[in-house]
Structure 1
Amino acid sequence: MITAKLLIIICHFNNLEGLEKTILSIKENFKIDILVVDDGSKTKPAEQNLKNLYKNGEVFLKLLPENQGVGKASNVGLNFAIQHQYDLTGRLDCGDIVHPNKYEKQLEFLENNPEIKLLGTWINMVDMEGKVLMKLKHPTDYEAIKKKLNFNSAFTNSSVIFYVSALEKTGLFPEKYNRNGEDYAFFYNFSKIYPTTNLPEFLVDYVVDPNSISSLHRKDQVKNRLMINLDNFEFGIYPILALVQNSIIYFIPRNLMIKLKKAIKYNQ
C-alpha cells in the first residue's frame, strides 16, 4: 500500500492544452497531489477548472505576476512541497505524457531501495503527433550516472521523483541557470550527494516541441551546460572530454543532432 505523500509540480506558460493533456495522463490507484505554477502566462489556468479535470488528489495553483523563468517557477513549487511536508516530489513539463502506474512503480522501487533518493525512468521521445522518434535509455548504474553527468543530464526532468528531505543538503534548482539548464545543474548537484538511478522502463512520452525552450534556445542551453561543466570541473579525462564534446555540440543544430543519434541508434 502506497502511503508516501507525493506532489507533482507542473510549470505552465501559455500551453493550456498541453497542461490538461499532461494532467489527464496521471493514472494511479493512490492519491497524488498536483501543483501548477503559472509563470506569468497571458492565458492563465483556472483553479476550479483544474480541480474539475483531476479527481485523484488535490490540485493547487500558484499564479506568478510575471514570467520569471522555469527555474524560479520550479523553486516556488519546491518551497510549497517543503512547507506542506510532502515526502516526495517531481516536475512534469506541459505536453509530456506519463504512463499508467508510473509513480506506483517508482514508489515501490524506492521503498525497496531506501539508499536511492532520486529516481528517473527511461523515456520515449515523441513528435507533436505522438510518433516515437527515439527511445532514450538513461543509465541505471550510479557510477555510470555520475560519469554521464560530466557530459549531459543523466535524467529526463518529467521522469524524475525525489525525496523532499534531500533538498536540505542539495539545495533547490540553481537559479544561476534559471531558463536553461537548471534541471541538469540540479541533478548534477543531487547525484554528488546522494545515490540516484533510473528505472529501466519506458514510462514517459517526452514531446520534442519545436517551440519549447530546448528547441528555441538550444545554444543557450548548451552554453549553460558548458558553464555547469566548468563549475564542477575536477581534473580528469571525463571532465576534459565533456568540455570538448559540448563545445562541438554547441555548433550542431538540434534537428541534426536527433538525426545523428537515430542514425547511430543512440542509447538503444
Structure 2
Amino acid sequence: MNKVALLIPHYNNFRGLVTSINSIDSSEFIDIVIVDDGSTREKIDEDVLIKAFKANGTIKFLYLQENKGIEHALNHGLDYILNNNYQFTARLDVGDVCVGKRFQIQHKFLEDNKNIKFIGANANAFDMEGNFLFRYNFPLKHSEIKKRIYLNAVFVHPTFMFDNEIIKTVGYYPTNYKSAEDFAFAMKVVKHFITENLEECLVNVEINPNGISLSKRNQQIRSRLKVIKDNFYFGYYPIYGLFRNIIICITPNKWIAALKKIKKRNDRLH
C-alpha cells in the first residue's frame, strides 16, 4: 500500500475517467480510490481502467447505488481512505490531466515541510477539444491565501493534496454548501492549518460546460456567500468578498462570460 491515495469521484463520464487515469506518470507511487456516484450511463469498465493505469499502485472501486452528489461521493471515498490508514489524500476530477510527476512533487513537498498540511498548485485550463484557455495563477503563500480566500478562488480542487491528520480537526467535506463543497472545505483548512500553492502547473483542468461551476453557477455563488457569512469577521477581505459575491450573484451569466473573455484576452496580450 502506498502513502498517498488519489480520490476521484465519477458520474456518467467514463471516457474522461480513462483520460485522467492514463495521464498518471508511470513512475508515480499512488493508489486510486474511484467512487461512482450512481452513474446511469457511461458506467465504469474496471478492466479498461486497470489496463490504463501504468503507475505503481492499485485501484479501488466504490459504488453508490444512487446519485447523491459529489460531496457525498467524496466523503464516501475519504471514509475508505482513512479506514485504510493512508497518510495523504490527493484529488483529481474526471477529465482532468496530471502534468509530469505531479504526485511525487506534492508528496515530497509535504514530507519536507511538516508544518504545512495542505497544498494546491497552479493549473492550466483547456476546453473539451483540448484548446488552451488560460492559466490559473493562485497566491502561493499562506499569508496571502488566508486573506484572498474571501475574494475568489485560491485553490483549484483537482490539485488538492493534504495530510489526513487535518480531518480530525476540520472533518469531512461539508454537505450543506451545494456546488461549493471544495470552497467550504478549503475555508475550514485555511482557518486551522498552514497551506500553500506550488507555483508549477501540475494539472490541466478541463472546462466542461456541463460541470458544476458552469451549469450550477447561481447555486455555487449562493453557497459561497453562505460560506463567507458563516466564517465572517469584520475586516477588509471578508467585507469586500461578501459584497463582491453578492454583485456576481445578481449579474447575468452572459455579462460574466463576456467579462471573462475580455480578461482572458488581456491575459494573453500581457
For the superposition of Structure 1 and Structure 2, which TM-score range results when normalised by the shorter chain? over 0.9
Q: Structure 2: which 5+ runs fail to align?
A: none
TM-score by length of 2: 0.93
Aligned to 1:89: 89
Code of the residue aligned with 1:216 in structure 2: it is S
1:61-210 aligned at under 5 Å gives the runs: 61-177=61-177, 179-210=178-209
Instruction: Name which of structure 1's ranges 226-235 and 49-58 shifts more when overlaid on structure 2.
Output: 49-58
* Secondary structure of 1:199's aligned partner: strand
Q: How much has 1:236 moved relative to structure 2? A: 1.4
Aligned to 1:217: 216
Give yes or no for contact 1:117–1:162 (8 Å, CA) kept in 2.
Answer: yes
Would the alpha carbon gap of residues 257 and 84 (structure 1) be closer, same or farther in structure 2, given more than 3 Å must change?
Answer: farther
Q: How much has 1:122 moved relative to structure 2? A: 0.4
Listed one character per residue, the Cα deviations across residues 39-65 of structure 1 (whole Å, up to 9, x for unaligned) are 010132033332222142100111100
- The 2-side partners of 1:256 and 1:22 are apart by 30
Give yes or no for contact 2:119–2:195 (8 Å, CA) kept in 1.
Answer: yes
Q: How much has 1:226 moved relative to structure 2? A: 0.7
* Secondary structure of 1:72's aligned partner: helix
Percent identity reads 36
Instruction: Name which of structure 1's ranges 180-189 and 91-100 shifts more when overlaid on structure 2.
Output: 91-100
Listed one character per residue, the Cα deviations across residues 131-165 of structure 1 (whole Å, up to 9, x for unaligned) are 21111111111010001111233110111100112
- The 1-side partners of 2:21 and 2:216 are apart by 26
- The 2-side partners of 1:224 and 1:38 are apart by 24
Out of 257, 260, 267, the residue aligned to residue 258 of structure 1 is 260
- The 1-side partners of 2:262 and 2:220 are apart by 19
Listed one character per residue, the Cα deviations across residues 8-34 of structure 1 (whole Å, up to 9, x for unaligned) are 011000000100000111114232111
- The 2-side partners of 1:4 and 1:24 are apart by 19
TM-score by length of 1: 0.94
Aligned to 2:49: 50
Q: How much has 1:203 moved relative to structure 2? A: 1.3
- The 1-side partners of 2:209 and 2:131 are apart by 14
Matched, 1:11 2:13: no
Q: How much has 1:126 moved relative to structure 2? A: 1.0
1:225-244 aligned at under 5 Å gives the runs: 225-244=224-243
- The 1-side partners of 2:79 and 2:223 are apart by 24
Code of the residue aligned with 2:91 in structure 1: it is R
Aligned to 1:22: 20
Listed one character per residue, the Cα deviations across residues 64-105 of structure 1 (whole Å, up to 9, x for unaligned) are 000000001000111111000001012211101111201111
Cα RMSD (Å) of the superposition? 1.7
* Secondary structure of 2:116's aligned partner: coil
Would the alpha carbon gap of residues 36 and 223 (structure 1) be closer, same or farther in structure 2, given more than 3 Å must change?
Answer: same
* Secondary structure of 1:246's aligned partner: helix
Give yes or no for contact 1:40–1:64 (8 Å, CA) kept in 2.
Answer: yes
- The 2-side partners of 1:30 and 1:89 are apart by 14
Give yes or no for contact 2:86–2:164 (8 Å, CA) kept in 1.
Answer: yes
Q: How much has 1:264 moved relative to structure 2? A: 4.6
Q: How much has 1:258 moved relative to structure 2? A: 2.5
Code of the residue aligned with 2:173 in structure 1: it is F
Q: How much has 1:265 moved relative to structure 2? A: 2.8
- The 1-side partners of 2:128 and 2:140 are apart by 28
Give yes or no for contact 1:142–1:196 (8 Å, CA) kept in 2.
Answer: yes
Would the alpha carbon gap of residues 260 and 231 (structure 1) be closer, same or farther in structure 2, given more than 3 Å must change?
Answer: farther
Q: How much has 1:257 moved relative to structure 2? A: 4.3
- Aligned residue-pair number: 264
Listed one character per residue, the Cα deviations across residues 165-215 of structure 1 (whole Å, up to 9, x for unaligned) are 2111111100112x4000000000001111000000111111111111111
Give yes or no for contact 2:2–2:31 (8 Å, CA) kept in 1.
Answer: no
- The 2-side partners of 1:53 and 1:71 are apart by 26
- The 2-side partners of 1:52 and 1:115 are apart by 38
